[in-house]
Every structure is written in C-alpha cells, then in structure tokens.
C-alpha cells in the first residue's frame, strides 16, 4: 500500500525503519520478502519486542496493524508492553461482522480499551444514477447498534471506493477529503489517549501465577466425587453421544498450555466417572488441555480479573483450552461430556463447599 520495496537495514545493532515523510515503517515483508511467514504467538510477540525496542524510532506513537482473529498475540503484547499501550481501534468489514464481534468480546473480556470502531467498505455510492445512490453491498453493519452493544464509540464509515483503490495503486494511499473524517476522529482519539498503565499488566501477571498443584488435586477429587453421587453421568453420555470405555486425559497447565501441572486420566463405565491410574499400558483416546485459571473460572462462572462470565466453552473459544484425539474421532464429544458434567456439578447442593475453594483459587 505504501509502495515500499526495499528491505530493512541494520545500523549499530539496531534496525533502521523505512521513512516515508513523517511515517516510520516496519513490516515482516521487509525481512522475509515474498516468502510466507508462520509463527506462534510468542514468536510473533518476540519479533515485535525486538522491533519496538531495538529500532531507531523517532516517532512518539506506534501503530501495530493486526489481523482479525488474533488472541494470543494480543495478550502477549499486553503482557510485554501493557503500561505503554493506549488501546485499540477496531476496523471491521460488513461481510465479516462476526469476526469484529469476537474481537470486541476479546477486548471486553481481557479488559483492553477500545478507542473506537470504524466500518470499512461500508457502502458504495453508484455514480451512474442522476442522484448519488448508496448500496450496502456487503450488508449493513448497523455500526451504532453494534457499538452500543459493546459499550464502545463508533468513529464512522469509509466506503468502497474506486478512487481509494486507484490512489493506492499509484502509491498515494491518502483518503479523499470527503472520506477522511473517521480517520481524523481515530487519530484524535489516539493522540488524546493515556496509556492503560500498570493496573492491567499487574492483573495479567497476577493471573499468570497460577494455582498450586495440591489445590488442583483437592479440587479434581472433590468434583469427581460430586459428579458420581449427584450428577446423572449416563444421561449426559446419551445427550452428547459420548461412548463409555474411552480414556480421557485431562492436563491442567500453566497459561502457555505447555507445562503440565496435573495429569488426570478418566474412564466412564456403567454411568460412573472413574479415575484411572497412569501406566505405560494405558492408551489415551482423548486429551483435554486447560489452563488452571481457566478451569477455576469456569467453575466459579466468572473471570476474577475482568468480572466477565466464563465457561469451559469460553476457555476453548479464547485459546485457553485445547483438545486432541489419538484415535481420530470422539474428542469433541469428550470435551462436551466433561463440560456438561462440570456444569451439572455446579448445580448440585454439594457444590457450595467446592465453590469456596474455587473462590480462593480464582
């Protein structure tokens, strides 16, 4: 879009950004060229860390352009740079309104400020009519209603425009004057925003401390006992179509989902959820891996750091839970089974005792 062809250079062990007027620019393509790049969230964050901290910037404000659907990358950024972050401008397209909602929900659940929302390619003005006629080709986002739902500010709409496309092709990516108001408002929001400070970062760091293994053991044993005495296991199996006899491995981990704190094996037989002793002979069919805090939050029903409702389903949707199958089928049903069992456990009279433990760990 900016017409940049050259690669990034290094001087005195620091990157030298490409300068275009008063814009300083860095992109992975200035390193990788035309080759595709695939990175984990931590790798992506490390590159950004290097770029932001080890580049000869003269600018006062940095803009990180991130694609829709990011989660881990955003959390990594907040963890590393939280005290300096001003907030997000969310840019949506009418054809991908659900992606925008997920991004707004992510910001709300993680407590990250949204400075405003812009709808791009919102409409098309047909020049062939005697009077300008507006067509919402990709649908109507109803920007005002969407922003009201999430408690954020609408900044305006930018149309689908041949003039904008032609300007970009000419290497002049400047919006025509009649379309620039949303960008002006967004720029003003950024300039006047204050860094979110240490409070959010401290909340993130606090939750990263995790839960002690002994406490997790007590919690799991208590939940299994309640499940087998007060929850209709067989009925839940029938509801989700989960057969008996499969071995489910539940790994409770730190937030990276890599370091396992507690490994539990379960098997459902004759309507009873049994714990299986690990051995070399045990063949695991389904594996569920969940961050300890996410498990606790799903039991309390609320995220303590943001006071937002939370379930195991939310844990999966936000990357705090993963599941795998060693036999090709069944794992999603295993997750649905375990999720439903825990939800029923929460509805039992005995859960009051367990709830106090969860509150202390949350």
Tell me: pLDDT of 32 over 80: no
What CATH number belongs to 209-361? Answer: 3.30.1050.10
pLDDT at 201: 56
CA 74/CA 108 separation, integer angstroms: 13
Q: Report pLDDT digits (tens) over 77-121.
A: 776 776 788 899 999 998 888 888 888 888 887 778 899 999 999
**19 pairs with which residues across the strands?**
24
Say which residues have a Cβ less than 8 Å from residue 158's Cβ, sequence separation at least 6.
118, 119, 120, 121, 122, 164, 175, 179, 182, 183
Q: Which two tokens stand for residue 88?
A: 């997000």
DSSP 117: E
pLDDT-based confidence at residue 202 (cuts at 50, 70, 90): low
Q: Report pLDDT digits (tens) over 135-149.
A: 998 888 889 999 999
CA 271/CA 269 separation, integer angstroms: 5
| Tokens 């500010």 -> residue | 153
In this prediction, residues 186-193 reach a mean pLDDT of: 93
pLDDT at 230: 92
Tell me: pLDDT of 232 over 90: yes
First CA to last CA distance, the chain: 46
In this prediction, residues 161-174 reach a mean pLDDT of: 84
Report the half-sphere exposure of 306 (CA within 13 A, side-chain side): 19
Q: Report pLDDT digits (tens) over 250-307.
A: 999 988 888 888 999 999 988 899 988 877 678 888 899 999 988 989 988 888 877 8
In this prediction, residues 200-225 reach a mean pLDDT of: 73
Q: Where are the alpha helices (DSSP H) in the chain?
A: 29-32, 41-53, 72-81, 97-110, 143-150, 162-169, 181-192, 198-208, 213-230, 233-240, 292-300, 312-317, 331-345, 351-361
When the pLDDT of each residue in the chain is averaged and rounded to a whole number, the result is: 83
3-class secondary structure, 118: strand
- Least confidently predicted of 39-43, 112-116, 320-324: 39-43
pLDDT at 325: 76
pLDDT-based confidence at residue 41 (cuts at 50, 70, 90): low
Give percent of the chain with pLDDT exceeding 90. 20
pLDDT at 353: 75
User: For residue 333, how many other CB atoms are within 10 A of its CB?
Assistant: 17
**In the chain, what are the domain boundaries?**
60-205, 209-361
Among 24-33, 189-198, 259-268, name the most confident range.
259-268
- pTM for this prediction: 0.62
Tell me: pLDDT of 354 over 90: no
Tell me: pLDDT of 189 over 70: yes
Tell me: pLDDT of 198 over 80: no
Give percent of the chain with pLDDT exceeding 70. 91
pLDDT at 200: 60
In this prediction, residues 151-170 reach a mean pLDDT of: 89
As to burial, measured by CB atoms within 10 angstroms (0-12 exposed, 13-18 middle, 19+ buried), residue 63 is exposed
């Amino acid at each position: 879009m900016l017409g940049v062809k050259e690669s990034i250079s290094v001087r005195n062990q620091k990157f030298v950004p490409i300068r275009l007027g008063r814009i300083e620019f860095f992109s992975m393509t200035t390193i990788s060229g035309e080759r595709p790049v695939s990175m984990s969230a931590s790798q992506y964050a490390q590159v950004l860390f290097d770029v932001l901290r080890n580049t000869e910037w003269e600018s006062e404000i940095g803009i990180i352009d991130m694609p829709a659907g990011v989660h881990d990358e955003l959390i990594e950024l907040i963890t590393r740079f939280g005290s300096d972050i001003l907030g997000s401008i969310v840019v949506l397209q009418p054809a991908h309104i659900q992606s925008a909602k997920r991004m707004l929900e992510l910001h709300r659940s993680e407590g990250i400020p949204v400075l405003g929302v812009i709808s791009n390619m919102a409409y098309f003005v047909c020049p062939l009519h005697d009077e300008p006629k507006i067509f919402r080709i990709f649908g109507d986002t109803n920007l005002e209603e969407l922003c009201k739902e999430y408690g954020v500010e609408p900044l305006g709409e930018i149309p689908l425009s041949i003039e904008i496309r032609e300007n970009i092709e000419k290497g002049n990516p400047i919006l025509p004057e009649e379309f620039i108001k949303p960008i002006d408002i967004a720029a003003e929001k950024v300039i006047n925003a204050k860094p979110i400070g240490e409070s959010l970062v401290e909340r993130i760091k606090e939750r990263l401390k995790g839960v002690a293994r002994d406490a997790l053991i007590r919690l799991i044993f208590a939940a299994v006992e309640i499940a087998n005495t007060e929850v209709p296991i067989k009925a839940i199996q029938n509801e989700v179509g989960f057969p008996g006899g499969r071995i489910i491995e539940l790994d409770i981990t730190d937030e990276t989902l890599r370091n396992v704190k507690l490994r539990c094996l379960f098997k459902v037989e004759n309507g009873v959820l049994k714990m299986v002793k690990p051995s070399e002979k045990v063949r695991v069919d389904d594996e569920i891996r969940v961050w300890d805090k996410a498990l606790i939050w799903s039991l309390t029903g609320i995220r303590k750091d943001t006071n937002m409702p939370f379930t195991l389903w939310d844990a999966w949707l936000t990357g705090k839970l993963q599941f795998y199958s060693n036999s090709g089928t069944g794992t999603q049903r295993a997750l649905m089974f375990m999720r439903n069992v825990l939800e029923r456990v929460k509805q039992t009279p005995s859960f009051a005792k367990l709830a106090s433990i969860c509150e202390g760990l949350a």
